[in-house]
A and B are shown apart, each in its own frame.
Chain A
Amino acid sequence: MTLLSVEDLTKQFGGLVAVDDLSFGVESGEILGLIGPNGSGKTTVFNCIMSIYQVTGGTVRFDGTDITDDKTHEIVNRGLSRVSQESNPIGSMTVRENIELFTFPNSIRSFDGGASDKAIASYAAQVDIEDALNDDPGSLPHADVRRLEIAKALATEPDLLLLDEPFAGLNQTEVRRLSEQFESFREQGITMVVVDHNMRGLMDLVDRVVVLHNGQKLASGDPADIVGDERVQDAYLAGEVSAVQ
């Protein structure tokens, strides 16, 4: 079953076409890799899906419903959550409070409606930061701040997670551990789209890859086929040939 469907998506900034007539689908339960060189439009696609940007053209459907014109919070409440490239925890709140915020009901009548301490600890435990719940986000190492971003997204109980460069700045051990955790999310029924400009880290994780180049879909298919695709190699040659090998 197709959970997320992006149809003929176009996003222009003035004269610049950042995403050009892009279509792809995400099947329920899969982990899709969305790769491409820097500036190929990957993050813009996420921003269009989450309604951070208004699309210039095209449609985004989630679970069969047109969400193109929904507001960000409405999309999140439908079950689609995104982990940004930038970490932006609220510095005046502890790790626990940062996660708890993502469990509050969207109601002005709710005075005490967040998740229980136990539930918050379980979100944190899924990314190994359960011991840092009472810490300030500013005191956490980079990897834990990234994990906090994922824990916050998990706290919205998503069906689909959009992960934007989740491995950026992590060492090999941390990348391996995070990949294992993504696998466990999948076992819980969470579908994922992972954006990365570097395909090596994604090879063992994703089921399928969509390659973007200059805002257009360049190729899609199994990771092994994509690695051998000449067009993909050419697209990367200008930047980083080792990224696909």
Chain B
Amino acid sequence: MSDREQTGRGIGRLTGRAESVLRDTLLAQGAGVVGAVGRPAERLLWPVAERYNRRLGERFGEVTGLQLLLLVVAFGGLVTAPLWGQDYLRPLTLGAVWAVFAMGWDIQSGYTGYISFGHSALSGAAGYTTGLLVLHLNPELSLFVTVPLSILVTTALGLAIAVPSLRLRGPYFSLVTFVTVLLFYRLTKALSEWTNGLRGIRVDVFTYDLTLQYYMVVVPMLAVAATLTYVGRSDIGTVLIAIRENEDAVSAAGLDPTKFKLWSFVLSAVPMGIGGVLLAHVNAGVDPQTFVIVDNSIQMIAMAVIGGMSSILGPLGGAFLFVGLRDVFLVGLGEELRWLALWLLVLLVLVFARDGLFRLLWRALGALGGDRR
């Protein structure tokens, strides 16, 4: 081994140790601070958590008292947002749409380890299906027609990407998805007679009532979160994670990895379709810059990474945090600095908290309740 390689490995080990020490320190300090109030709260809440675990634990995962409190507070906060956050309804609505995207990406890429850079093509397919239908077929077309058709087209595109590429191993899948987005982006311009090119297609908003619009997005988002959490906790989620960890072991178990990978893409494409339609109606239109460009795919990945990949609820939290920083808290920094700060945060999470911030929080709360998983 060359000196450079040895040095490189040494630095790698040091970085790993530094990461581990920092994580442990943060966890210990976090636990210390919260512990003083957390432990009595945990004792108080445990009977409720126990009841939840008996009824739903097997399907949605067992929780400690404080973890349940976090879920209840987050759920309550989302449901009552129009009461406390009228000024923030727009970013909250967008956060909910991006949460659907991040969760959709997670069930496929986060769980199986086959990283897709092409999910913005899927949301774009949904948005453009809706747009093309209202532009060329009937502007008055009902949501009951556009929504299912958009999801169907997204799923079909998802399968068209997945069938040839998921049989491949290594980086080929990621490359195929990446190229698909580039191709889709160019197509929206090449077919500008149909798509209006960069100008895009105008789509009616659901409603101009921001509160109603918020609920029209949050309710589907909660449904996607519950469904994907259930799937992620089921045998299917276990097999998808096993594919990521050791695909040969999955074959040795008598399970067809290709079939499960394809299924993960379908499970992913459906929420991408739902999210794409929601974004089209929230943004009052569909265009390549808002929907298709590869940056959008990277943002979905960033949200999942910040929250904690392969956890569904982590990417949900990651999406709200990312959109919150992007559209509210960092706006004062100006366009360039804002994005620099955001990508720096993603980098820091990747280096120092690879499991994601929300998973760290979840584990810290779990540790207070005696959950050492």
Contact = CB atoms under 8 A, between A and B. Distances in A.
Nearest to B256: A73
Contacts of B242: 90, 93, 101
Interface in A44-75: 50, 52, 71-74
Contacts of A71: 251, 256
B241 interface: yes
A88 interface: yes
Contacts of A108: 236, 259-260, 263
Given A73-B254, A106-B255, A156-B254, A88 B241 contact: no
A77 interface: yes
Contacts of A74: 256
B252 interface: yes
A88 B260 contact: no
A111 B234 contact: yes
Given A91-B245, A92-B245, A104 B252 contact: no
Contacts of A90: 241-242, 245-246, 249
A65 B293 CA distance: 51
Interface in A152-176: 152-153, 156
B236 to A, nearest CB: 6
Interface in B210-232: 230-231
A112 B235 contact: yes
A133 B280 CA distance: 49
Contact of B231 (A73, A76, A101, A111): A111
A84 B248 CA distance: 11
A230 B254 CA distance: 42
A107 to B, nearest CB: 9
- Most B-side CB within 10 Å, residue of A92, A106, A110: A106
A211 to B, nearest CB: 27
B239 interface: yes
B238 interface: yes
B12 to A, nearest CB: 19
Contacts of A152: 249, 252-253
A191 B235 CA distance: 30
Contacts of A100: 238
B241 A73 contact: no
Interface in A128-170: 152-153, 156
Nearest to B267: A108
B240 to A, nearest CB: 10
By secondary structure, the A interface counts as loop
A78 to B, nearest CB: 9
Given A71-B251, A71-B256, A82-B252, A104 B231 contact: no
A112 B256 contact: no
Nearest to A79: B254
A114 B58 CA distance: 13
- Most B-side CB within 10 Å, residue of A52, A101, A106, A113: A101
A133 B253 CA distance: 18
A82 B255 CA distance: 14
A185 interface: no
Contacts of B230: 111
Contacts of A196: none
Given A76-B254, A106-B259, A111-B231, A101 B236 contact: no
A110 B235 contact: yes
Contact of A106 (B234, B241, B245, B256): B256
Interface string B72-112: 00000000000000000000000000000000000000000
A1 B227 CA distance: 49
B234 A102 contact: no
Contacts of A104: 235, 238-239, 253, 255
A106 B251 CA distance: 10
Interface in B100-151: none
Interface in B233-287: 234-236, 238-239, 241-242, 245-246, 248-257, 259-260, 263
9 contacts: A73-B250, A77-B254, A89-B249, A92-B241, A101-B253, A101-B255, A102-B253, A104-B253, A108-B263
Given A104-B238, A108-B263, A110-B236, 11 more contacts: A72-B252, A73-B256, A88-B246, A88-B248, A101-B249, A101-B250, A101-B255, A104-B253, A106-B254, A106-B255, A153-B252
- A-B pairs, top 5 by smallest CB distance, nearest first, are A76-B254, A111-B234, A72-B251, A108-B263, A102-B253
